[in-house]
Amino acid sequence: MRIAVFAGDGIGPEVTREAVRVLEALELPELELTEGDVGAAAYRKHGHPLPQETLDIARNAGAILFGAVGDFECDNLERHLRPEQAILGLRKELTLFANLRPAKVFAGLEDLTSLKPEVARTIDLLIVRELNGDVYFGEKGMRTLPDGRREGYDLMSYAEDEVRRIAHVGFRAAMGRRKKLCSVDKANVLETSQLWRDVMLEVAKEYPEVELSHMYVDNAAMQLVKGPGQFDVVVTGNMFGDILSDLASMCVGSIGLLASASLGEGTFGLYEPIHGSAPDIAGQGLANPMATILSAAMLLRHSFAREADARRIEAAVAKALADGIKGGDLGGSAGTREIGDAVLERL
Ligand code: IPM
Ligand code: MG
């Protein structure tokens, strides 16, 4: 079991450390962990946020456990040298086009979410976010118009095969759950979304058991707060998925609890908490490592077919939360190491 560990910036190293301790505690067969530099940390050491050496480690591994990237000190660098390019580059280079972001309320946390407890209790959804296309990867730049005004531009586009492959991921995920798929777009305004919707309808013919619906992204944001229980699987583009998954995290209680898997066609995947590097609390042992620990569970499930181990981790996290182990993100006082210890004890 070769796992590349890319801890990155800010709170990345401290939360990743706890997830690694959990993996090691499971006594997995032939576990081999290789660390690599990403983000601002890599830029400072190698002059690039995603050095070749790191890409090589990734390509030799069966999965990547990823912390976070981002550092205010790098905000003025040219875009291709900024820390975020590490995660965007890995997703693109390794064709990890399908991002799974599950959101479910843990028992005992209903009162801590940003929603009313009775509404929060109904959340059990999966966001399937496309990761390799959209406005993120279109032609972009800054130019000066003939009259001297500056203009920034980013081209939004999706080719039909890009939509088709993420559609299949969405439909297959729905088949394994409550068989409801909601495709989120902005087809009332965007041609990109019209194609998205057309392709969703074509692919739907191959999954007659799945009930497909469509929703405009603005309405989806509203419905996620108003009645999140109506959603089973949500499939959407890169940009809308980025925004809606942060929104969903607050419905669950904390962004410190949401894990994610980024997958391609095979079993290889990259696993990361959906939160960022949180530079304001970095290095203080305050960050909640649960999202990263839960990402390690997803890693075992999707890349190494170790469902039982994945469930063990998830149960240990749920038990720790039910026992009142809460980080500052949930209004508690448990630190990073303390939360890691609590999860380890319950394993
Ligand atoms: C995420 C993050 C990234 C994204 C950033 C760090 C580039 O917000 O994984 O959701 O926008 O995809
Ligand atoms: Mg995001």
Give residues whose Cβ lies within 5 Å of ion ligand 2. 242
Six token digits for residue 59: 């390509």
DSSP string, 28-76: -TT-EEEE---HHHHHHHHSSSS-HHHHHHHHTSSEEEEEE---GGGTT
Strands 124-130 and 98-104: antiparallel
Contacts of 89 (CB under 8 A, 6+ apart): 49, 50, 55
Position 112 scores a pLDDT of: 86
Q: Is the CB of 255 inside a 6 Å radius of any atom of ligand 1?
A: no
Alpha-carbon distance of 138 to 206, in angstroms, equals 30
At the fourth CATH level, the homologous superfamily of domain 98-259 is: Isopropylmalate Dehydrogenase (3.40.718.10)
- Sorted by where each begins, the domain ranges of the chain are 1-96+264-347, 98-259
Distance 145 CA to ligand 2 centre (A): 31
Atom of ligand 1 nearest to the CA of 242: 10
Q: Is the CB of 87 inside a 6 Å radius of any atom of ligand 1?
A: yes
Instruction: Indicate which residues carry an active-site annotation.
Output: 136, 186, 218, 242, 246
Amino acid at 328: G
Distance 208 CA to ligand 1 centre (A): 33
Cβ atoms of 169 and 135 within 8 Å: the answer is no
Strands 269-273 and 259-263: antiparallel
DSSP string, 259-317: EEEEE-SSS-EEEEESS---GGGTTTT-S--HHHHHHHHHHHHHHH--HHHHHHHHHHH
Domain covering 1-96+264-347 in this structure, CATH number:
3.40.718.10
DSSP conformational letter for 232: S
Sign of CA dihedral 14, 42, 301, 256: positive
Q: Is the CB of 130 inside a 6 Å radius of any atom of ligand 1?
A: no
Greatest alpha-carbon span in the chain: 66
Atom of ligand 1 nearest to the CA of 272: 9
Six token digits for residue 114: 């940003």
Cβ atoms of 245 and 101 within 8 Å: the answer is yes
Alpha-carbon distance of 241 to 247, in angstroms, equals 10
Six token digits for residue 314: 């998830």
Along the 347 residues of the chain, how does pLDDT read in single tens digits? Answer: 999 999 999 999 999 999 999 999 998 999 999 999 999 999 999 999 999 999 999 999 999 999 999 999 999 999 999 999 999 999 999 999 999 999 999 988 888 888 999 999 999 999 999 999 999 999 999 999 999 999 999 999 999 999 999 999 999 999 999 999 999 999 999 999 999 999 999 999 999 999 999 999 999 999 999 999 999 999 999 999 999 999 998 898 888 999 999 999 999 999 999 999 999 999 999 999 999 999 999 999 999 999 999 999 999 999 999 999 999 999 999 999 999 999 999 99
Burial 306-328 (b: 16+ CB within 10 A, else e): beebbebbbebbbbbbeeebbbb
Closest CA to 128 of 170, 85, 88: 170
What pTM was estimated for this model as a whole? 0.95
Alpha-carbon distance of 245 to 231, in angstroms, equals 13
Alpha-carbon distance of 168 to 235, in angstroms, equals 10
Count of positions (residues) in the chain: 347
For ligand 1, atom 4, the nearest C-alpha belongs to: 242
Six token digits for residue 94: 């390794």
Reported as half-sphere exposure (CB side, CA atoms, 13 A), residue 282 has a value of 20
Helix (H) or strand (E) holding 7: strand 2-8
Q: Which value, in Å, is the radius of gyration of the alpha carbons in the chain?
A: 20
Sign of CA dihedral 19, 175, 184, 133: positive
Distance 102 CA to ligand 2 centre (A): 14
For ligand 1, atom 8, the nearest C-alpha belongs to: 242
Position 72 scores a pLDDT of: 93
Position 108 scores a pLDDT of: 87
Q: Is the CB of 9 inside a 6 Å radius of any atom of ligand 1?
A: no
Distance of CA 296 to the CA centre of its chain: 12
What SS3 state is found at 130? Answer: strand
Distance 91 CA to ligand 1 centre (A): 11
Helix (H) or strand (E) holding 240: helix 238-252
Alpha-carbon distance of 345 to 347, in angstroms, equals 6
